[in-house]
Amino acid sequence: MASVPAVLASEWTKIRTVASTSWTLVSAFVVTVALGAALCALTKAQFHNLSDLERATFDPTLVSFTGMVLGQLAMVVFGVLVVGTEYSSGMIRTSLAAVPQRTVFLFGKISVATVLALVVGLVTSFLSFFLGQALLGGHRTSIGEPNVLRAVFGAGLYMALIAVFSMGVAAMLRSSMLSLGILMPFFFLVSQILAAVPGAKEVARYFPDQAGAKIMQVVPQAMGSDKTPYGPWGGLGIMLVWVAAALLGGWLVIKHRDA
């Protein structure tokens, strides 16, 4: 067996020595925090224009995470590139010749990238929260209120899981371009459009991002959203099932396909 610490050290070197790691993670951080802050400021200014329902279910925690809609796309790119560049560069053959135990190789790589994505995700979520609350003025909440800490922590977890899901998909498809071509439109358009279409939204609420995002809500049916058959942790559980399925698929592919 290959030495697991050695594989982790190797994967850490790989991840810190390519430019895509820093620009994707910095983008995820900047976009999420900046967009969240902007929308919090806007919401404060336009609070009187919100509908009665939205005002009744106003969720300041969730509003501060609005930037996640775009920020998660950078996380998708990060996850896809971590795995996909092995294939697009041809490095995979060199890597597997060095670590022929493919399970150790794949999960070593994913573990290192996941820890990094989680750290960036948590920093992003906490900063988005505190900056957003400061900008919401009188409508703000605080980290000490019930369920708020869970939502903030959950938002960081959500970002990391989006990245892990993307890693699994890239390992299955063995191509960065193909993976991005499927995941970007899915998370940016398909999932969000279907979630707004009556009839389709009953299905869309089981998509990984729709279900997982539930963890970021503090107020039930926040901002006038529909009632879901699952709670915050249930939603995260559904997302975890998706992530596990993507990882299983990626593992089966790397285990059985020729490199």
Partner 1 sequence: MIELDGLTKRFGAKTAVDRLSFRVRPGVVTGFLGPNGAGKSTTMRMMLDLDNPTSGTVRIDGRHYRDLDEPLKYIGALLDAKAMHGGRSAYNNLLCLAQSNRIPATRVAEVLDTVGLTAVAKKKSKGFSLGMGQRLGIASALLGDPEILMFDEPVNGLDPEGIHWIRNLMKGLAAEGRTIFVSSHLMSEMALTADHLIVIGQGRLLADTSMADFIQQNSRSYVRVRSPQQERLRDLLHEAGVPAVAAAGGALEVDALTAEQLGDLAARNHLVLHELSPQRASLEEAFMRMTAGAVEYHAHSPGADGGTGVDAGPPPPLQPADAPRWGASYDEQFGGE
Question: Residues in the site for partner 1, rule: CB under 8 A?
Answer: 1-3, 6-7, 9-11, 13-14, 17-20, 85-86, 89-101, 256, 258-259
State in angstroms the smallest separation of the CB of 31 from partner 1: 22
State in angstroms the smallest separation of the CB of 76 from partner 1: 19
State in angstroms the smallest separation of the CB of 92 from partner 1: 8
Q: Which is nearer to partner 1, 68 or 106 (CB)?
A: 106
Tokens of 121: 């995700």
State in angstroms the smallest separation of the CB of 20 from partner 1: 7
**Residues 11 and 112 sit within 8 Å (Cβ to Cβ):** yes
**Residues 187 and 72 sit within 8 Å (Cβ to Cβ):** yes
Q: Which is nearer to partner 1, 41 or 104 (CB)?
A: 104
Number of alpha carbons in the 13 Å side-chain half-sphere of residue 34: 8
Q: Which is nearer to partner 1, 4 or 197 (CB)?
A: 4
State in angstroms the smallest separation of the CB of 110 from partner 1: 15
State in angstroms the smallest separation of the CB of 254 from partner 1: 11
Could you give phi then psi for residue 200, rounded to 5 degrees? -75, -25
Q: Which is nearer to partner 1, 19 or 196 (CB)?
A: 19
Measure the CA dihedral 135/136/141/142, to 10°: 10
State in angstroms the smallest separation of the CB of 73 from partner 1: 21
Burial class (CB in 10 A: 0-12, 13-18, 19+), 12: middle
Q: Which residues contact 128 (CB under 8 A, 6 or more apart)?
A: 32, 33, 36, 37, 64, 65, 67, 68, 155
**CA separation (Å) from 82 to 21, 62, 99?**
8, 29, 17
Q: Which is nearer to partner 1, 6 or 134 (CB)?
A: 6
Going by the DSSP 8-state scheme, the letter that residue 46 receives in this structure is T
Q: Which is nearer to partner 1, 13 or 51 (CB)?
A: 13
Going by the DSSP 8-state scheme, the letter that residue 199 receives in this structure is T
Q: Which is nearer to partner 1, 100 or 181 (CB)?
A: 100
Whole-angstrom Cα distance, residue 121 to residue 114?
10
